[in-house]
Structure 1
């Protein structure tokens, strides 16, 4: 019983007992798979600014538009002039637009992981039914999916335009399939490398600069050295130098196995033998990216 304002006692009939204890959760427990899917969906949406402020949507949407506009122009010209073939191969398009792809991944990879590191929210993820592997798979899958959307959309525009222009169906379908295989491999490689670089620092600006260096500066350096080797008749060195840049790795793989034209000096990419080395290096880099991210987040999550 409680005392009244005059120091007396209230009658027993006016007493109340309040139970303010917690209730047990009686709802559905969705488990790790649901948490992993939710983190994947949230990360994929975040790569395009969805669910965030209007300011966050500006850059990814502009870059997505820049990727698609040249394809729309090519389609318009092809349909109007009744071309028999597209002026750009499906496997060439992503390499031509590589700077846009690099800017997209440089801007969005740090946003995906650096904020969690900077604000120390990573341990909160692991307080839920989610493991380190779930976090890494969700983030890597989301970034690769975002890149695949970015690179596959213009190829789909080209394919639809080619069919509208009544180009050969079998030829265009084969070329489109080759282009999709190329950009799928590119998305996994670029996504993995960019997340590794971004996860090394909580500073977003440092992550952006480092990713641009890995993707853009390395390509410029490799192509310059390749051109020097070609001009001095060191032709065998041209193919091996391509192993030193992510962009030239994709170029070499699609030249060797997808029948694509090479952007190497002289237009001669690696043959099937050297191309197998290219493919092994690409797959090793993707696997290494996953392993490094897993090791990184095992330490961060402590």
Structure 2
């Protein structure tokens, strides 16, 4: 004899959502905020905070020392380091930060295949790329602008000339903004090419360090062989020397090229065009990459 069976219907409380539909703009802002916080380990494990916070401290410490020395030296009227030059003096710290955080920003979504989940919501490919690019740029800008703020406040407390310091500070902010836009684009492109974080880290460091070393070497050879005219054009082949050339031509910085031979105004315009072209090209490559990754 078959056992008796009974059928029960359970009300598990499904209800339709009748709240506000916040849409793409809210999703884009949320993705930007989450990515920016993640670039400094906020909202993540304690271990994730160590490296970005350590690099932030290393970036700011020399600025505090510069201010202390300038105040302690009798008769000093200006800081020993110009505002636009500061970031490039610590380019290795910036490279390490970008190499560690750019893969964290994009590689995990690729590795765990969560990109299609983003695009299943009211967010499109352009929103994802803009949010990630803006977050990485903002993280780099915070890293590079914070030491300039320390130097500026210290210079004002030391009663250095207000107009000169304000002008130099503004030039420094423009310089680090261009650096942040350029480096963020390059770092995200390299990191987005592979879901493997280790490969992304190596690719970012290689792209920032190897071309700069090669360009510096060839520039030094050109300087020693009496070909100063070639020095300014060789700087077009490295992201670091591109920023060096732009800030030397337009932002009153001291050139880091051999013999301190900075680019002329005409060459500086070419440098600026190349920087903008690389920023636009990085954005276009990211858009193309996520057209495939979102499928």
TM-score by length of 2: 0.96
How do 1:26-175 and structure 2 match up within 5 A? 26-82=18-74, 83-175=76-168
1:80 offset after TM fit, Å?
2.4
Distance 2:8 2:194 in 1: 56
1:22 offset after TM fit, Å?
3.0
Which residue of structure 1 lines up, in the alignment, with residue 192 of structure 2? 199
Distance 2:228 2:211 in 1: 20
Question: For the Cα contact (< 8 Å) 2:39–2:101, is it kept in 1?
Answer: yes
TM-score by length of 1: 0.94
Q: 2:268 aligns with which of 251, 267, 275?
A: 275
Distance 2:218 2:128 in 1: 39
Question: For the Cα contact (< 8 Å) 2:228–2:261, is it kept in 1?
Answer: no
Q: 2:224 aligns with which of 231, 239, 250?
A: 231
Structure of greater Rg? 1
Structure 1, gaps ≥5 residues long: 1-5, 10-14
Question: For the Cα contact (< 8 Å) 2:185–2:283, is it kept in 1?
Answer: yes
Q: Can you list the C-alpha shifts for 1:131-167, whole angstroms capped at 9, x where unaligned?
A: 0000000000000000000000000000000001110
Q: Can you list the C-alpha shifts for 1:88-140, whole angstroms capped at 9, x where unaligned?
A: 00011001000000000000000100111111011010011000000000000
CA gap of 1:201–1:17, structure 2 versus 1, over 3 A, is closer
Distance 2:8 2:54 in 1: 63
SS in 2 for 1:86: coil
CA gap of 1:127–1:90, structure 2 versus 1, over 3 A, is same
Distance 2:58 2:141 in 1: 15
Q: Can you list the C-alpha shifts for 1:47-72, whole angstroms capped at 9, x where unaligned?
A: 00000000000000000000000001
1:245 aligns with 2:238: yes
Distance 2:119 2:9 in 1: 38
1:211 aligns with 2:184: no
